[in-house]
C-alpha cells in the first residue's frame, strides 16, 4: 500500500528536514568581505558586545562564501569568493565583536583589539 501525505503534512515534514539540515551551521560576515557559513564543530561564531565575544569562530582560509559575494571584495576571484586568510575575531567598533582579516604589516589595522580568549570545549 502506498501512503500519500496530505499537503500540510508534506510541508511540515519538509520544514523539519530543512531545519535539521541547517541546525549544524551558522552564518557570519567578515568586515569588508562576504558572508560565510561556519559549521558548528568550529564553535560559536564570533559575535557579541562588551569585553569579550560570545563566540570566536570565523572563516578559515579556503572557505567559500555563502552570500554577498561580488567583484571588488578581498576574497573575490573567478566568479566566487574564497577566504584568502584566516579571519580573526576582533573588536570591529567600540564594543562590537566581529570577524575581520588581519592587515598586512604596513596597513593600519581595521580593528582595535583581537580577542585572546580562552575557549573551553565541553562534552554534550
Average pLDDT score over residue span 92-116 = 68
pLDDT computed for residue 108 by the predictor: 39
pLDDT at position 19, please? Answer: 46
In a domain, 6, yes or no: no
Q: Is residue 37 part of a domain?
A: yes
Predicted TM-score of the model (pTM): 0.67
Domain count, the chain: 1
DSSP state of 2: P
Do the domain assignments include residue 15? no
C-alpha cell at 122: 565541553
R_g of the chain computed on alpha carbons: 19
Cell output for 39: 559549521
Contact predicate 29/68, CB 8 Å = yes
pLDDT at 38: 96
Q: Is residue 81 part of a domain?
A: yes
Q: Is residue 70 part of a domain?
A: yes
What long-range pairs does 40-44 form, CB within 8 A, spacing at least 24?
A: 43/119, 43/121
Is 10 within the bounds of a domain?
A: no
Q: Is residue 44 part of a domain?
A: yes
3-state per-residue secondary structure call for 49-100: ECCCCCECECCCCCCEEEECCCCCCCCEECCEEECCCCCEEEEEECCEEEEE
Task: Give me the torsion for CA of 77, 29, 119, 96, rounded to 10°.
Answer: 140
Asked if residue 47 belongs to a domain, the reply is yes
Please, which pLDDT band fits residue 103 given cuts at 50, 70 and 90? confident
Assess whether pLDDT exceeds 60 at residue 63: yes
Domain with 43 in it = 25-124
Amino acid at each position: 500500500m502506498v501512503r500519500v501525505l496530505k499537503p500540510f503534512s508534506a510541508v511540515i515534514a519538509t520544514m523539519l528536514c530543512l531545519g535539521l539540515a541547517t541546525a549544524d551551521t551558522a552564518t557570519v560576515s567578515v568586515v569588508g568581505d562576504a558572508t560565510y557559513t561556519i559549521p558548528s564543530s568550529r564553535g560559536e561564531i564570533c559575535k557579541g558586545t562588551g569585553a569579550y565575544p560570545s563566540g570566536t569562530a570565523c572563516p578559515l582560509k579556503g572557505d567559500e562564501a555563502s552570500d554577498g559575494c561580488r567583484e571588488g571584495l578581498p576574497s573575490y576571484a573567478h566568479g566566487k569568493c574564497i577566504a584568502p586568510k584566516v579571519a580573526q575575531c576582533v573588536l570591529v567598533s567600540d564594543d562590537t565583536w566581529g570577524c575581520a582579516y588581519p592587515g598586512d604589516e604596513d596597513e593600519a589595522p581595521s580593528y582595535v583589539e583581537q580577542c585572546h580568549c580562552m575557549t573551553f570545549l565541553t562534552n554534550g
